[in-house]
Structure 1
Amino acid sequence: MPGRFEETKMNFSQRTRGIVRALAVAMALALPVAMTISAADARVGGGMGSGSRGSRTYSAPPSTSTAPGTAAPMNRTFSQPGSPSMGAPAAATSGGLFGRGGAGRGLLGGLAAGFLGAGLLGMLFGGGLFSGLGGLSSILGLLLQIGLIVLVVRLAMSWWQRRNAPAEAYAGGPAAGAAGPQPNARSGFGFGLGGGSSNAPVEIAPADYEAFERLLGEIQAAWSDEDIAKLHTLATPEMVSYFTKDLEQNKANNDINKVSNVKLLQGDLAEAWREGDSEYATVAMRFSLVDKTLERGSGRLVAGSEQPIEVTEVWTFVRQRGGNWELSAIQQTN
């Protein structure tokens, strides 16, 4: 009897150590991502891809010399895949890679549920979260499994984006895809006049680049002042809805984000096109700013510093023909 008790105790201890090791590995992998997200959450847009680019919302804008990589996909958007214009609010959508439950649940949701379900069943039936992580070989096996999961997820995301990209994003030659870095013949305000879509019907003039730079500064200032009314004059209702939600979250956290000394360092046109009476221009912008998060009331520094940082983002602007430009989307760069 004592021997059986000792054996049971040893098996339980091995399973416990296995679970602890699995959690340690998962936390080690997730920590850098969490740190990156928290560092980028403060400024305008929350460090995410937000907004709509008309029918091109789900297609990546061409790369430029300012942003030679790719733009991250939208995390928050009202647009439906394949729709030529803004659809229903994002909360009502049922598709997408992380689609909500029922028949509309996305491909990635099913994969994640399968992997998680397998792990939980392993725990319930005594196999441990990953069917036992007794030694170094088990940890290496776990890392291999995580690598395979990441590979499958990336392939699934690529497939989903290709499947839902509007047809016009693959037609017309350079206007649809990344045509490589665009020339950076700089204008007076840091923007390159060359590049972008070779067959785009919208001509972007120096005055438009000046408007883009002005909007960059004014939007950051209105954000710092938490001036929703001002933001309504500078951005689309969709973008203002995201700004309002982020500002409310700051208030709930008793924080206030202050952005100052915004200076455009370089900018390039990625593409410009027309959809009905709406004209779009997507530009890559590299700018410096002082980004601080303060405790509301006391002014105590919570995050950030007085030292300026450099940020590269892809901003899309929209206007009704003959009207003023408004911010329509912000995307992060990879």
Structure 2
Amino acid sequence: MRRPAKFLAALAAFAIVAGPMLAEARPGGGGSSGSRGSRTYSAPAPTQTAPGGAQRFDRTATQPGSPATAAPRPGALPGAAPQRGFFGSFGGALLAGGLIGGLLGYGLFGGGAGFGAFLGMLLQIALIGVVVMLVMRFFRRRQQPAVAGGPQPHAFQGQPGAKQFGAAGGLKGAAPAAPPVTLTPADYQAFERTLVEMNAAWSKRDLAALRAVATPEMVSYFAQDLQDLDARGWRNETRDVRLEQGDLSEAWHEDGEDYATVAMRFSLLDATFDTATNKVVEGSTTERQTATELWTFVRKAPGGRWMLSAIQQTQMA
């Protein structure tokens, strides 16, 4: 019984540890993080670039009903965010449920008899978590259209820069109407420039440069994601970032600040390297990948610099 038990334990440990590795390693981790002021818990309006809208936030410091930013947890490293991974959400719930079932004498194998059965139960829970992550990643890849041709020099060129954009009418769960915000071509150029500068700072692991383009909350998430990569002995680099298409979801004013949420489809070279061997463990240095996300920017009105305050993944239309 000891050998099968040790084997199952090793497989379970590997599956649990491998779970977080399936997440996207590029900036934002392929999840939805940040805050959109009072609209953090409201869905952004769909756009031509992101007709399915955005996913809910996996990580946010904004409490429901309050746009205020929560303070960092006691003892946290400067710029660090709450840990994410297999134990943080779906996998954690599965594991907790399985442990409770095992303690009560039940489990996914039905009998729950003996230590080997209990380890087998843990293994199956871990494998289910890995399968779920793979399925989620598969559908996320499918909803990202392939890049057709070269980059568009003016991906936001269809936006009427001088038009006023207010709250999207008829949005279910949308925040009350706010004063309109006037966006100009220079604003859209700033959004595209931030996309490039943020990825460059991420690849250099330059937190100071990230602070120049993103809010403290977003920088804290980037810092935690970089720490997670360090823990695995990995580093991620994104290169040659090109905005292929972008459009405005909504823009509004609140509490002395302007907000704008824009949908952006961009392509890039995204590769994760083993730090010790410098070999690519995920992604590619030659094959371009495409992502579609909704980015929210905030600025101190009027005339302040736009800062990245949220990244949200898109829903399937």
1:313 aligns with 2:298: no
Does the 8 Å contact 1:77/1:90 carry over to 2?
Answer: no
Query: Structure 1: how far apart are the matches of 2:288 and 2:153?
Result: 24
Query: Structure 2: how far apart are the matches of 1:116 and 1:254?
Result: 30
Q: Secondary structure of the residue that 2:265 maps to in structure 1? A: strand
Root-mean-square deviation (CA), in Å? 3.9
CA displacement at 1:250 relative to structure 2: 1.8
Deviations 1:171-224 (A, max 9, x none): xxxxxxxxxxxxxxx993335426773566111211111100000001001100
Describe the shift of the 1:196–1:131 C-alpha distance in structure 2 as closer, same or farther (beyond 3 A). farther
Describe the shift of the 1:191–1:296 C-alpha distance in structure 2 as closer, same or farther (beyond 3 A). farther
Structure 2 alignment gaps of length 5 or more? 1-7, 76-89, 113-127, 133-151, 169-176
Does the 8 Å contact 2:297/2:306 carry over to 1?
Answer: yes
Deviations 1:271-299 (A, max 9, x none): 11111211100011110010001122532
The structure with the largest alpha-carbon Rg is 1
Does the 8 Å contact 2:166/2:252 carry over to 1?
Answer: no
- Which amino acid counterpart does residue 55 of structure 1 have in structure 2? S
- Which amino acid counterpart does residue 275 of structure 2 have in structure 1? R
1:329 aligns with 2:295: no
- Which amino acid counterpart does residue 59 of structure 1 have in structure 2? S
Q: Map 1:119-134; keep pairs closer than 5 Å.
A: 119-120=101-102, 124=105, 128-129=107-108, 131=110
Query: Structure 1: how far apart are the matches of 2:239 and 2:72?
Result: 32
Q: Taking every aligned residue pair, what percent have the same amino acid on both sides?
A: 51
Describe the shift of the 1:189–1:44 C-alpha distance in structure 2 as closer, same or farther (beyond 3 A). same
Query: Structure 2: how far apart are the matches of 1:213 and 1:231?
Result: 15
Query: Structure 1: how far apart are the matches of 2:252 and 2:307?
Result: 15
Structure 1: 4+ residue segments shifted above 6 A = 111-114
CA displacement at 1:74 relative to structure 2: 1.2
- Residue of structure 2 in register with 1:208 after alignment: 187
1:300 aligns with 2:279: yes
* TM-score scaled by length of structure 2: 0.65
Does the 8 Å contact 2:166/2:181 carry over to 1?
Answer: no
CA displacement at 1:114 relative to structure 2: 9.5
Q: Secondary structure of the residue that 1:55 maps to in structure 2? A: helix
Q: Is the helix fraction higher in 1 or 2?
A: 1
Deviates most, 303-312 or 40-49? 40-49
How many residues are aligned here? 244
With a CA cutoff of 8 Å and minimum separation of 6, indicate the structure with the bigger relative contact order: 2
Does the 8 Å contact 2:235/2:273 carry over to 1?
Answer: yes
Q: Map 1:155-304; keep pairs closer than 5 Å.
A: 188-190=154-156, 192-193=158-159, 197-198=167-168, 201-304=180-283
CA displacement at 1:88 relative to structure 2: 3.4
- Which amino acid counterpart does residue 207 of structure 2 have in structure 1? I
Structure 1 alignment gaps of length 5 or more? 1-19, 93-107, 134-145, 151-185
